[in-house]
């Protein structure tokens, strides 16, 4: 990465995007980006996440805004042509070179297996940002994907370690959430762009642990535990990672033009262990009932016929069984080669302590 090139970042008012911005500004590492940083912002976007990220990093409330190379541009990411006009007009007025690089972090985040599609899907969003890249004739495009695009080959409930090559976009839609389908389609668009000549990088983070407004999707798990709205935990497993580590890995991948895909997973943790640790960190005293795959997985299969029943059907779908009882583990070695992961217990403790103070 040219340290003085203009970068365009999407999703910078969200959890991960705000920490990537902090990384580029030199607040997470010693190497700040010297060139202009253009951040997309909708007119309706809240800056609450930016304020919380600054506060968590012990910065004053205007620290980001005081950076002379940071620029906010109002644009609709769902329209690549509109973004191109907004960016080029802004750059022309302010004497800034147009972006040569894009870091695309914006996404609708909802890992629930029965979530409905949002107005602008992740696939559409990525497609339009790739179009923007073509219009700007950028030199590099970095895309934030997800471990949700990956899949194992063992039966549900059995353990398997999977890595970057375990990408099976032709899996049956019946076993995938809308979020996973959107992320798979998005990543396929990025790979196609590479085949057409675009320089790209792809990062697949696990479940990202971080801080932010209580009502936002990335904090849904923390909020449910904080409010005592999570009644049980299973012995399924998921890959988790500190938002600061994902930010550092993303910038390292972008700077070094690592194609990837790079897996950003610090630890593979059983659900009940993760939820108990989050509960302790955030000050929840509610005890969660533990549901093990034996016998609950077979019980849910026995009642699969209820999946089409309104209201309760969502609890008996294949996607729900996979979310609760999958024991797939993710090999985060490719991320560790670029950045040393923080200890998971330290991350949970730090985030929980902070959220407990700001949410009360």
Domains belonging to the chain, first-starting first, are 7-358 (3.40.50.720)
Q: How many CB atoms lie within 10 A of CB 299?
A: 11
- Mean pLDDT over 168-193 rounds to 86
Give the residue among 75, 68, 76 at the shortest CA–CA distance from 36. 68
| Mean model confidence pLDDT for the chain | 92
- Mean pLDDT over 100-128 rounds to 74
Q: Over 50: is that where the pLDDT of 308 sits?
A: yes
Query: What pLDDT score was predicted for residue 66?
Result: 86
> d(Cα 226, Cα 355) in Å, to the nearest integer?
9
Q: Which of 39-53, 159-173, 290-304, 341-355 has the highest mean pLDDT?
A: 341-355
- Mean pLDDT over 307-324 rounds to 89
- Mean pLDDT over 232-241 rounds to 96
Range scoring the smallest mean pLDDT among 22-36, 129-143, 187-201: 22-36
Q: Over 90: is that where the pLDDT of 197 sits?
A: yes
Q: What are the residue ranges of helices labelled H in the chain?
A: 15-24, 48-56, 80-94, 122-136, 178-195, 220-226, 243-256, 271-282, 293-302, 318-325, 333-336, 344-358
DSSP secondary structure letter of residue 316: G
DSSP secondary structure letter of residue 117: P
Query: What pLDDT score was predicted for residue 110?
Result: 53
- Confidence bin at 191 (pLDDT 50/70/90): very high
Q: Which residue has the tokens 């262990």?
A: 273
- The HSE-up count of residue 285 (CA atoms within 13 Å, CB side) is 0
> Could you tell me the strand order of the sheet in which 207-209 lies?
207-209, 237-242, 267-270
- Mean pLDDT over 250-278 rounds to 96
Query: What pLDDT score was predicted for residue 261?
Result: 97
Which residues are CB-neighbours of 197 under 8 A, at least 6 positions away? none
92-95 contacts at long range (C-beta below 8 A, 24 or more positions apart): none
> d(Cα 60, Cα 304) in Å, to the nearest integer?
53
Q: How do strand 237-242 and strand 207-209 relate by DSSP bridges?
A: parallel
Q: Over 80: is that where the pLDDT of 144 sits?
A: yes
Q: pLDDT over 90 for what percent of the chain?
A: 78
Q: Over 60: is that where the pLDDT of 111 sits?
A: no
Give the residue among 139, 135, 7 at the shortest CA–CA distance from 80. 135
> d(Cα 40, Cα 302) in Å, to the nearest integer?
48
Give the residue among 105, 104, 87 at the shortest CA–CA distance from 96. 87
User: E strand or H helix at 7, and its extent?
Assistant: strand 7-10
């Amino acid at each position: 990465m040219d340290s003085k090139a203009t970068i365009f970042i999407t999703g910078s008012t969200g959890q991960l995007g705000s920490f990537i911005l902090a990384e580029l500004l030199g607040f997470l590492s010693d190497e700040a980006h010297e060139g202009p940083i253009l951040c997309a912002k909708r007119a309706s976007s809240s800056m609450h996440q930016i304020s919380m990220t600054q506060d968590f990093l012990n910065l004053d409330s205007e620290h980001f805004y005081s950076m002379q190379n940071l620029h906010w541009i109002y644009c609709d990411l769902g329209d690549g042509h509109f973004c191109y006009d907004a960016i080029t007009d802004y750059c022309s007025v302010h004497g800034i070179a147009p972006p040569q690089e894009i870091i695309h972090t914006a996404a609708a985040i909802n890992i629930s297996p029965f979530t409905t599609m949002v107005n602008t899907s992740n696939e559409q969003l990525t497609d339009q940002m790739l179009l923007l890249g073509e219009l700007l004739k950028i030199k590099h495009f970095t895309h934030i994907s997800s471990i949700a695009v990956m899949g194992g080959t063992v039966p549900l409930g059995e353990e398997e370690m999977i890595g970057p090559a375990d990408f099976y976009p032709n899996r049956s839609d019946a076993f995938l959430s809308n979020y996973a389908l959107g992320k798979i389609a998005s990543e396929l668009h990025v790979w196609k762009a590479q085949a057409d000549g675009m320089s790209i990088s792809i990062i697949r983070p696990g479940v990202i642990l971080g801080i932010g407004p209580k009502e936002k999707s990335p904090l849904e798990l923390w909020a449910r535990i904080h409010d005592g709205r999570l009644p049980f935990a299973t012995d399924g497993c998921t890959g988790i990672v500190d938002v600061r580590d994902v930010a550092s890995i993303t910038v390292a991948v972008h700077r070094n033009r690592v194609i990837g895909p790079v897996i950003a997973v610090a630890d593979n943790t059983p659900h009940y262990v993760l939820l108990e640790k989050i509960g302790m960190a955030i000050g929840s005293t509610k005890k969660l009932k533990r549901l093990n795959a034996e016998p609950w997985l077979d019980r849910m299969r026995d009642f699969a016929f209820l999946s089409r029943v309104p209201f309760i059907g969502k609890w008996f779908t294949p996607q729900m069984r996979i979310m609760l009882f999958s024991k797939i583990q993710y090999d985060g070695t490719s991320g560790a080669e670029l950045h040393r992961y923080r200890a998971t217990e330290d991350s949970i403790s730090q985030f929980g302590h902070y959220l407990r103070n700001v949410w009360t």
